[in-house]
Chains A and B, each alone.
Chain A
Amino acid sequence: MPTTPPKTTPAKTAPTKKSSNPVPNKERIKMPRQHMPEQPPLVRAKQFTEVNLGYSAELARQEALRCLECAKPTCTRDCPVGVKVKDFVQLIVEGDYLGAAAKIREDNVLPAITGRVCPQEDHCEGACLLCKKGESLGIGYLERFVADYEQQHFDVTKIVKAPPTGKKVAIVGSGPSGLTAAGDLVQKGHQVHVFEALHEVGGVLVYGIPEFRLPKTIIRQQVDYMRAMGVEFETDVVVGRTVTIDELLEDEGYDAVFIGTGAGLPQFMGIPGEHLNGVYSANEFLTRINLMHAYEFPKYDEPMVDFRGKNVAVIGGGNTALDAIRSALRLGAGKAFILYRRSEAEMPARIEEIKHAKQEGIEFQVLAAPLEFLDDGKGWLRAARCQKMELGEPDASGRRRPVPIEGSEYEIPLTVAVIAIGTTANPIVQTTTPGLATTKRGYIQADETTQKTSRKGVFAGGDIVTGGATVILAMGAGRRAAKSIDEYLTTGQWDQ
């Protein structure tokens, strides 16, 4: 319900439904994008509390007023789950924040998370018409605003769901794909049980992405919300080891299984010295810090190598690399830098993260890669021998290929090196599930629209199908899977 009824006549150009936005379209274009309030760089670089502080209601309204309410909204077209941006933004203008949250939830069950971590520049915001005239609408910030508002004001007892169907679904893995599938399926009246290998629910959201970017309380609230809807969670179960997919289907009476186990296997570079003390995979480094709370040692028992005042380098240019190096900075690294073999333009990380990292004092050594990690004679890392690169022809990914420059080798002293060059599929489920077809690289084969695998009643989605991608793509897959699982459970039909 609108709290402040529109007083001015809507702009003539406003399309379809009557707009409550009092600002004429040509004025909207001139309005500047509202900045996200954030902690000052030098303060936040020393602590793990969230960098972005969130819009106030006033800022949110100011920002929402900028939306042009396009007749053919390209923002929605380029959002992987088709969030109805124009509509929810309009509800913000009307002051109906819970309504706005409900509107987003029609397509996206984890708005507090996507609002924070979606690479908006590649999706909704990148396609926003305002880009052509200046800066895009702050869709992520607005999404975050309403989700956080909803979190504080929503009454979970009001959740309505379909009557019980008597069908049971097992979800393997509690990352964004699994959580989304679980949320959708429980709403349809199915009984949903999520199995998670780790002791905490959330996948990469809890063990990978750090507190300063995505506070754990946000994930816990989302999970509590799902619990309130009736989803059961069982941690400490490694499917394939503790129980197999076949046992779930045959012995435990599950009617369908969704596999969302992510791409959790760290890749190393295969260069000399990777076994040295002080060389980490990004997964280990981030898991120690996030999941195991090493940043709160000794309150928590998890130890970390002491690199205070020393040099730390992370190898890679994605979100993972930036999360690792910014965590190292917060733990007291003297000099923290990124080593990336292409140029900054090719970095796959979110633009906002690159900006934040620079403000905090992270150094970017681009067009460089390590050749070898050097020993201090006692088994500890002393330095990395690196080589400079130049950009050659575009490769299969369309990005220009790094080519080593002969004779450009140099050494940098290092106490810790973190390897963040990507991950691959963990084979535990695939190797213990007979008849489950996989790709050459070990990912699970699943239909792109139904998420069906080669095994009847078994669906898969997220990074375990696509390889390391994004939260919103994993959620999209979870949603498609839930839809086709529901169809399968209702009709009993399985045609590939």
Chain B
Amino acid sequence: MFKIVNAQFIAPGIKRFVINAPRIARKQRPGQFVIVRVNETGERIPLTIERSDPESGTVNIVVQSIGKTTHLLNSLETGDSILDIVGPLGKPSEITNFGTVVVMGGGVGTAMAYPTAAAMKRAGNRVISILGGRNKDLVILENEMRGVSDTVFVTTDDGSYADKGLVTDKLRQLIENGTRIDLVLAVGPIPMMRAVADMTRKERIRTLVSLNPIMIDGTGMCGGCRVLVEGKSEFACVDGPEFDAHRVDFAVLVQRNAMYRDAERRSMEAFKRECELEKRKAAEPADEVACALEGK
């Protein structure tokens, strides 16, 4: 059992957890993730470690409600416990002084990119961050990113905050302005990472993406997380999750992530029904109910 020391929504449907996990906190490096199983009947899902504190023995994760498991997780509160957390898993990000590093975070991807951005800054890089979200509320960790970046750009799809447009529009501007870029790290939805890859391929800018295939064990045992990299199968949990964006077959990633869509939908619907029942039983104002369906 792993105790939740603190849990707070930082945006609609996006919650940050501070969890007591001393062993993991001691070992975590930027770019690594944990695998979480909420309860006895739960599946195992991977989540990036946003930050860790070896002193207090805690790790932070930032979770966006997507389907059943993330909704269930986001219904937990300070003082609750998570049944299983294992990690830190995956290869840490390669941190050296590359020169100028552009860190791009789309939605919850910003939380996943944050620890690497911070480490890049500490390693002496000039860090330019581009954060994006569908709207103002979904731009997260802006202050944290400002703290570790030389420059921060923010875009929103609907223009409700900062510049209207996509993170890739900003990247194009930087390239067109002749900004020297030694490395791009893009973390976010697959279409965004793919668009970044297409853009930087032409410019021959080294680009890394953090891939999010479906995982089970996270130790190389099941092979379910395999991604196609230049025609070769690699296991994202041990060979990644960061890969050279120009070699990744994004189409296969999209296809494999859709493998359980029907079952996932069924789980989510059943979960919603359960929540409705509980709500009625609790007969409390809807916003007090633990089922974190808000943000939907």
Contact = CB atoms under 8 A, between A and B. Distances in A.
Interface of A: 197-199, 207, 235-238, 241-243, 264-266, 268, 274-275, 277, 280-281, 283-284, 287-288, 292-293, 297-306, 378-379, 426-428
A199 B37 contact: yes
B256 A265 contact: no
Interface in B231-257: 233, 238, 251-252, 255-256
Contact of A242 (B42, B88, B217, B224): B88
B216 A284 contact: yes
A302 B43 contact: yes
A275 B228 contact: yes
B122 interface: no
B270 interface: yes
B113 interface: no
B24 interface: yes
Interface residues of B, number: 43
Given A242-B23, A287-B216, A379-B256, 7 more contacts: A207-B221, A275-B252, A298-B267, A301-B267, A304-B260, A428-B219, A428-B220
Contacts of B27: 241-243
Contacts of B267: 298, 301, 303
Interface of B: 23-24, 27, 37, 41-44, 68-69, 83-89, 216-224, 226, 228, 233, 238, 251-252, 255-256, 258-260, 262-264, 266-267, 270
Given A236-B84, A242-B27, A265 B220 contact: yes
8 contacts: A199-B83, A242-B23, A243-B23, A264-B219, A264-B220, A298-B270, A378-B255, A379-B252
B41 A299 contact: yes
B260 A303 contact: yes
Given A283-B221, A283-B223, A287-B217, A300 B259 contact: no
A302 B216 CA distance: 10
A274 B259 contact: no
A242 B87 contact: yes
Contacts of A268: 223, 233
A241 B221 contact: no
Contacts of A302: 43
A283 B238 CA distance: 16
Contact of B223 (A281, A297, A306, A378): A281
A399 B251 CA distance: 42
A288 B89 contact: no
Contact of B68 (A266, A280, A301, A427): A301
Contacts of A283: 221-223
A468 B141 CA distance: 47
B41 A300 contact: yes
Shortest 5 CB-CB contacts between residues of A and residues of B: A303-B263, A379-B255, A284-B222, A303-B260, A281-B223
A242 B27 CA distance: 6
A302 to B, nearest CB: 5
Nearest to B40: A300
A241 B264 CA distance: 30
A142 B207 CA distance: 62
B220 A277 contact: no
A241 B258 CA distance: 30
A428 B83 CA distance: 24
Contacts of B266: 298
A137 B224 CA distance: 42
A143 B31 CA distance: 50
Given A268-B233, A287-B217, A299-B41, A237 B263 contact: no
